[in-house]
């Protein structure tokens, strides 16, 4: 009797199913990774790096501190004089019959300044060149307060109108110098108001051509 041979089944792999399974696995992993990154982003936002300036503050020598204090001690009283000259005006001669001077300037009566050049040099000895130019030519935005009259003497503009007193007293003025470099110094000036309360004014001193000068007029 003839025996029947059994046919062996060939092991076959379902390629399409395998590909789909792999793709699904990759997508699942990607979804998990995205979720983790998203949660981390929500919980721990990125913080930009902060750059800290580690430059040490300027260390002034005792010699510089003494020098700036002496300069402020000398300059601040002169500043107050200029402030009064420019806001109250100097004593001057009136024109006959109350007329307006033809040259636009009343002749000043001053023992300190015989000419505009004298006054100009005085102002330039106190303030930086830029500030001195402003104070001499246009301190308040309406032209010069002083100039040369028709005799060559120092003259006060006929358009000058005295400003009211600021109400600040210089009787017990004090100041604090803080050099910020070899050529610049912050100065805090403390005045008093009508009630005796302290009022602080801040100004800079600048070293120009070997001399300390105020960067602006204060009053």
173-182 pLDDT, tens digit each:
999 999 999 9
Q: Calculate ∠ Cα 129-87-194, nearest 5°.
A: 115
Q: What are the extents of the domains in the chain?
A: 90-161
CB 97 within 8 A of CB 48: no
Q: Cα–Cα distance between 110 and 124 in angstroms, integer?
A: 18
- Mean pLDDT of the 146-175 span: 92
* CB proximity list for 146: less than 8 A, separation 6 or greater: 85, 90, 105, 108, 116, 119, 136, 154, 155, 156, 157
* CB proximity list for 178: less than 8 A, separation 6 or greater: 185, 186, 187, 188
Looking up tokens 């001499």 gives: 136
109-142 pLDDT, tens digit each:
999 999 999 999 999 999 999 999 999 999 999 9
Q: Does position 149 have pLDDT exceeding 50, yes or no? A: yes
CA dihedral over 123, 124, 129, 133, signed as positive or negative: positive
State residue 13's pLDDT score: 47
Q: Which of 166, 158, 165 is nearest to 199 (CA)?
A: 166
The reported pTM is: 0.73
CB 92 within 8 A of CB 109: yes
Q: Does position 33 have pLDDT exceeding 60, yes or no? A: no
Rounded to a whole number of angstroms, the distance between the first and last alpha carbons of the chain is: 136
State residue 187's pLDDT score: 98
State residue 55's pLDDT score: 67
Q: Cα–Cα distance between 22 and 169 in angstroms, integer?
A: 89
Looking up tokens 């990125």 gives: 46
Q: Cα–Cα distance between 105 and 94 in angstroms, integer?
A: 10
């Amino acid at each position: 009797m003839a025996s029947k041979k059994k046919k062996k089944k060939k092991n076959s792999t379902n390629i399409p199913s395998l590909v789909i399974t792999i793709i699904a696995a990759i997508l699942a992993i990607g979804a998990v990774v995205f979720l983790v990154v998203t949660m981390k982003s929500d919980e721990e936002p990125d913080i930009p790096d902060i750059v800290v300036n580690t430059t040490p503050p300027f260390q002034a020598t005792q010699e510089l501190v003494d020098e700036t204090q002496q300069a402020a001690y000398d300059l601040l009283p002169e500043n107050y004089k200029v402030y009064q000259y420019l806001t109250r005006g100097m004593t001057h001669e009136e024109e006959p019959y109350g007329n307006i001077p033809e040259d636009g300037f009343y002749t000043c009566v001053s023992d300190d300044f015989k000419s505009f050049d004298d006054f100009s040099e005085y102002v330039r000895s106190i303030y930086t060149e830029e500030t001195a130019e402003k104070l001499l030519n246009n301190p308040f935005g309406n032209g010069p307060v002083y100039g040369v009259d028709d005799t060559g003497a120092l003259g006060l503009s006929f358009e000058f109108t005295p400003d009211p007193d600021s109400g600040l007293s210089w009787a017990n003025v004090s100041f604090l110098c803080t050099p910020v470099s070899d050529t610049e110094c912050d100065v805090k000036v403390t005045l008093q108001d009508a009630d005796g309360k302290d009022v602080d004014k801040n100004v800079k001193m600048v070293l120009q051509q070997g001399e300390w000068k105020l960067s602006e007029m204060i009053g």
